[in-house]
Structure 1
C-alpha cells in the first residue's frame, strides 16, 4: 500500500547499494534515525565490484561486521595500469594486507541485513522526485510503488539527505552540485560467462587490445576486453563481447552462457563540494571513475565510514553542524588523488604504441620497493589520515552496538575534562621546562603525547613517568635537531611509537618548542658557526618538522610554534636568537592562510621570563629582579605558558590562526 502521509526522520539515504547500506548502518550505530530510499524493488544480483582492500577490511572488522561476510578468499597480487603490483606490500604486518574477493551481491545482502538489525528502515521500489529546503531540514518528495506519478506520492521530512545513488545521482542533480572532470573516451566490455574454458589472464596486452579472464569458484568466468580503436555504444550484447574477445585474443567464447553484461569507461568526474547545506554525497554520487583495481567501491565505503559517525553526532546533538565540513575537507582530497591514480592507470592500460616506452620506465620504477609500497598504500587506502571516530557512541541516544575501546584508555581518578581524547601530539624539547609542562597538560586533556628529547634520556623518561602517574599516555622520541637527517630520525621514532599504540601514524597536534638560546654574548662576538647553529635548530628544523607533519595531520589539526617576547623588545645580546624566532613567527603567519582550508590552525606563543629549572631561578635576588619586568610582578612558571599552548590545541581555539599570542605576563606592556 502506498504511503501518502509525510514522515519524519533524522537522515534520508538515497540508494541501497553497498555505500548507502553501510552509511545507514553507521548512522544507526551512532543513534541516528535513518530511512533508505531505493528505486529498485530488489537487489540487482549483479557484481560490478568484487574486491575489498585492506583499509575497508579494517573498518569492517572494527565495526564487528567482517565476520558476517564469512571466509573471504585472497585474490593475490594486484596491478597498477596492468603492471603487477602486490598490494600486500602496503604493510606486510597488516592483518588484511592484500585484496580480498567479496562479490557485490553478497556484500549488499549482508550489509542490508546488518543495517536492518541496527534498526534502519529500507524502502525499496521508492523513487526520489524532489528535494526542498524547509529551513529546518529537507522535504524529500518520493514516489512509491503504488503506481502513477501521484497515487504513490508522499514526503519525508529529514534533517539531512545523503545521496548514495551512484554515477547518475538524482540527489546530485536535484541538489545542484557541480562536477569537474571529463566523460569516458575509452570503453571496456565486462561480462560474467558460464560454460567456457579459457586461461586466466590479467589485463594481458595483445596487438589488438587488452583482455582479462578470471575463473571464479562458482564456475563462471569474469571477462573484460578492450579493443583498440573501438568504443561500442548502446546496450551491451553478448555478441559484442564475443566479437571483441575474438578480435583481441583469437579465442571463441560464443558457446558460453552470459550471466551478466556491462561496460565501464575512463570517466573521471568529481563534485566540487561533497556538502551543500543539508545535502551530502558519498560514493559514486560524489565521484565517478573507472573501476580499476577495485578502488571505486572501497573509496565509497570509506566515504561512508568517514561521514556516518559525524552525521550521527550532529543529528543527535553531540556535536556542532560544522563537524560535517570536515567530511569534504578529508574525503575530497582522497577522492581526487584516487581519480588521479586511476587516470594514470588508464593511460598505461589503453594506450597503444605510444605508451610502450612509458610502461617500460614505469615497470623499472616498480622494481623499487619504496615505489611499490607507496602505490600499494595509496590503492589500499592505508595512507589516508582522517579525524578518528570517537570511542563512545553519541550520548543522547543509545547506539545499537558497543563502540571499540579508545587506543589509549582514560584511567579512573584522573583529573581532566578530556578535550583531547583520541588526539595524538608531538612536543619537541619536552624533557624539561615549558616543553615538559606542555606535554603533561596535553596528556591530562586526553592526548597521547610523544615526548621528544635530544640527549637527556632520563629527563624524557621522567616526563613520561609523570604523565603515566596521572593516568595519561606518552612515549619518548629521540632526535638531535639542527643536523642532517634530524627530521627523518624524529619522524621514524614518532611513527613507530604511534603505530605501536594506535595502529596509525596520524598526528593531530604539533608543538615546536625545542630551541637553543644564545649565551648573552655581544653581537660582535657571535661566530658564523654559532649563527648557523641557532638557525638550524630554531628555524630550519621547525620548518621541516611542520612540512613533514602536514602529511599525516588530519583536518582539525593544531600547530603551535614557540617564539619569544624578545622579538617585540630590544635585547641586543639576544639578536641571533630573536632573529630565529622572528623567522618562526613568519612561518606561522604565512602558513595560516594555506592551512585554513584544511581546518588546521597554526599560532605562535611568546613566553617571557619563565622558570625553566635553570640555576638562575634558585637565586632569590635574581628572581626578584626578573619579576619586575612582568605586570604581575612575578616570574612566569612553565605551566603558565603550557596552559596557553594547550588551549590553542583544543577545539575552543578553532577560530584562532596565524596569531602571535603574548604569554609574557605583561612584559611587553612597557
Structure 2
C-alpha cells in the first residue's frame, strides 16, 4: 500500500483524524481540494465534550485560553450549558474561529507525520476486498482504508454509493461577517417579520444572521449576495447595513440528512460527509470532531490486526449519536425559524426550561456530555503496538435493547449485563415502580444507560402500551425508534404444588396471555423496527424438557415460546436477525424461598454443578446471544440450567 489510510478533506474533522492516526503509528495521506487553507470561519463554538477531546491531545495548550461563549440556547431560548454538568472542567461553551482551529490541527497532523496534499480533488474511487484506490487526476493512491471527511457535498459519499436519506431545507437563514458596522449586539431577536442576530468579533467585524419568516431556500450555486443580506436585515430590523464591507457570506437551511451507514467495506464517513444539518448552536462542528475522535482509535485497532468489530461499533455508536443530534437540531430549527405560529410552543418550552432536570437534559444533549465517552478519550493516541482495541467500550455499544420483566431476577440481571456491554436498555415492568427505578439506578450507577417502561402484559392493548413508552424513550435518547435487541423474559407462573386438575381456565388463560401471546405480538411489533442483524432472545424454562405435573400449564406456555423462536428464526434469517430460546433451571430470583438454606441445598442437588444458579449466570448467556459473536446461532434451544437436564 502507498499509505495505511487516505483521509479526504483537510478541514478540522479530517485533520483531527489524521493526527490521531499518525500518533498511533499509521501512515496517513490527506487529500484536499483547496490549494490553501480557508480563512472562513463557518463555526466558532466548541462544547464541553469537544474541549475534552482537544485537551487530551494537547491542542488546547496551543490554542491558548479561549474566551467563554457565554450562555447557550436551545432554539433561540436561553439555555445555560453549564447545567449539563456544573462540575465539568469545560462546563459551558467556548469560542474559537474554525480557521484558527483548523490551522492548529493541521500543524499537529503534519508534525505527527501526515502527508497533506492540497489542490487534489478526489475524482474516482476504487473499492476492493483488501484495499481501496483514491484517484485524483493522474495520481492513484492505494490504501487499506479511506475516510471521507469532505463535508456536505462529499465526493467520497457519492463515489462510494452511500445512501443519504433525509429532507432538504424548507427554510433559509442568511449570515455574513461584515466590517465597518456599528449596530447593537442582538441575540436571536424575534421581530414581526423575522429573526435577527448580531455579534461583534474581537477584530471589530460583526457576524449578522437574519431570517425573514417563511423564506424558503433560493436556488443558487454559491453564497448569497451582500445585497440579499442587506435587504433581509432591513426588512426585519429596519436598519441599513449596506455601508459595511462583507468578508464572508453564507446561507444555510434546515436540511436534515444522514448516511444510512457510516461504513461501506473499507470506506468510512465522518463529520458533515456523514450527516447534514442546520448549524445551530455550533453542534455540527462538534459532532464531526467527536466522530473523528471515535473513529481514530477504532481504525488503529483494526490496522493493528484486530477484527472488524471496532469499525462496526463506530458505525453503530456514531450513527445513533448523529441521529439524536439531528433530531434536537430539527426541534431547534422549528423554535428558531418558525413564525408567529410557533409562539405558543416557545412559551410552553420556555416554561419547561425553568426546571433543573429539563435544563440539564437539553444542555447535556447540546454539549455532548450525555453520550458515551469516545474511545479516543479513554486512551490518548499513542504508538500502535498491539492488535487489541484500546477502549473500554462494550460489544453492544450503540445498540438498543428491550428487556421485559426487568424489574427483578433474571430480567434485572439481563438488563444490567446488556447495559454493561454498552446497550441502551428499556427496562420493562408491570407495576412495581420502585423495583424498576432500582434497576435503572443500578445500571446508571455503573455508567450504563437505561429507562423504565411500564405496561402490564396479558391484558388488552398490552403490546401497544409497551411500544408507546418504548418508542418515546428511544426517540428521546437516540433520535430514532430503532431497536437492536429484544429479550422476552416476563412470565407468569402457577402456584406451587398446583396439580393439573386444579388449574382453572382463568389460570390457564393468564399463563398463555403473558407467556405466549404477549411475546408473540412483541416480536411481531418489534420486527418492523428491528435493525438488520438484530437479536431476539426468548426466555423459556427447563421444565419443557422434564416431566413435572405441577408445572404442566406453565410448561405448555413455555413450549409455545420455543416454537416462536424456531419458526421466527427461519422467517427473519434473510435480514440477519437471530432468534433463540434460553432455558434456565432453578435460579435465585430473590424470592424468599432462596433464603431458606435447607430448601436451597435440596434444589442445588438437581444441578450437575450441585449449585443453584444466580440470575447473572443466565444473563451472561443472554448477553452472549445478543452480540455479534453469536451471529451463527439461530433457532436454537440453549440449555442454561447448569446441567439439570442431563438426567
TM over 0.5: yes
Distance 2:250 2:229 in 1: 10
3-state SS, counterpart of residue 147 of structure 2? strand
Task: Give CA-to-partner distance per residue, 1:644-666, whole Å, 9 cap, x none.
Answer: 56755776435446753113466
In the other structure, the counterpart of 1:314 is 302
In the other structure, the counterpart of 1:485 is 434
Write the mapping of 1:76-91 to structure 2, written as runs, cut at 5 A: 76-91=70-85
Distance 1:240 1:124 in 2: 33
CA shift for structure 1 position 104? 0.3
3-state SS, counterpart of residue 2 of structure 2? strand
In the other structure, the counterpart of 1:29 is 23
Which residue of 182, 186, 191 maps to 1:206?
191
Q: Is residue 2:318 matched to residue 1:344?
A: no
Q: Is residue 2:521 matched to residue 1:571?
A: no
Query: Which has the larger displacement, 266-275 or 523-532?
Result: 523-532
Which residue of 260, 272, 287 maps to 2:260?
272
3-state SS, counterpart of residue 155 of structure 1? strand
Cα distance change on mapping 1:516 and 1:228 into 2, 3 Å: closer
Distance 1:238 1:420 in 2: 50
In the other structure, the counterpart of 1:298 is 286
Q: Is residue 2:609 matched to residue 1:660?
A: no
In the other structure, the counterpart of 1:498 is 447
Contact 1:329 1:555 in 2 (8 A): no
Query: Which has the larger displacement, 645-654 or 371-380?
Result: 645-654
CA shift for structure 1 position 156? 0.5
In the other structure, the counterpart of 1:412 is none
Distance 1:170 1:228 in 2: 33
In the other structure, the counterpart of 1:353 is 340
CA shift for structure 1 position 199? 1.8
Task: Give CA-to-partner distance per residue, 1:6-38, whole Å, 9 cap, x none.
Answer: x71111010000111111123223432211111
Contact 1:636 1:664 in 2 (8 A): no
Query: Which has the larger displacement, 528-537 or 643-652?
Result: 528-537
CA shift for structure 1 position 96? 2.6
Which residue of 153, 165, 172 maps to 2:157?
172
Cα distance change on mapping 1:42 and 1:437 into 2, 3 Å: closer
TM-score by length of 1: 0.71
Q: Is residue 2:247 matched to residue 1:259?
A: yes
In the other structure, the counterpart of 1:415 is none
CA shift for structure 1 position 208? 2.2
Cα distance change on mapping 1:364 and 1:616 into 2, 3 Å: closer
In the other structure, the counterpart of 1:461 is none
Q: Is residue 2:598 matched to residue 1:615?
A: yes
3-state SS, counterpart of residue 282 of structure 2? helix
Which residue of 212, 228, 231 maps to 1:240?
228
Cα distance change on mapping 1:65 and 1:538 into 2, 3 Å: farther
Contact 2:536 2:580 in 1 (8 A): yes
In the other structure, the counterpart of 2:34 is 40
Q: Is residue 2:209 matched to residue 1:224?
A: yes
In the other structure, the counterpart of 1:471 is none
3-state SS, counterpart of residue 178 of structure 1? coil
Task: Give CA-to-partner distance per residue, 1:401-446, whole Å, 9 cap, x none.
Answer: xx99969xxxxxxxxxx9999x9x9x9999x999999999x99xxx
Contact 1:609 1:635 in 2 (8 A): no
CA shift for structure 1 position 588? 8.1
CA shift for structure 1 position 172? 1.8
Task: Give CA-to-partner distance per residue, 1:106-153, whole Å, 9 cap, x none.
Answer: 11112112222332221122222211224431111123xxxxxxxxx3
Cα distance change on mapping 1:277 and 1:360 into 2, 3 Å: same
Task: Give CA-to-partner distance per residue, 1:495-516, whole Å, 9 cap, x none.
Answer: 134389xxxx99x999999999
Q: CA RMSD in A?
A: 5.3
In the other structure, the counterpart of 1:606 is 583
CA shift for structure 1 position 569? 3.7
CA shift for structure 1 position 315? 2.2
Write the mapping of 1:47-446 to structure 2, written as runs, cut at 5 A: 47-143=41-137, 153-228=138-213, 233=220, 235-320=223-308, 322-385=309-372, 388=375, 397-398=384-385
Distance 1:275 1:636 in 2: 46
Cα distance change on mapping 1:577 and 1:42 into 2, 3 Å: same
TM-score by length of 2: 0.74
In the other structure, the counterpart of 1:465 is none
Write the mapping of 1:433-472 to structure 2, written as runs, cut at 5 A: none
Distance 2:414 2:319 in 1: 34
Contact 2:297 2:375 in 1 (8 A): no
In the other structure, the counterpart of 2:474 is none
Task: Give CA-to-partner distance per residue, 1:347-387, whole Å, 9 cap, x none.
Answer: 33333233333333333333444433333222222333478
Distance 1:623 1:226 in 2: 72
Contact 1:312 1:394 in 2 (8 A): no
Distance 2:504 2:486 in 1: 31
Distance 1:77 1:243 in 2: 30
CA shift for structure 1 position 299? 1.6
Distance 2:599 2:315 in 1: 52
CA shift for structure 1 position 520? 3.4
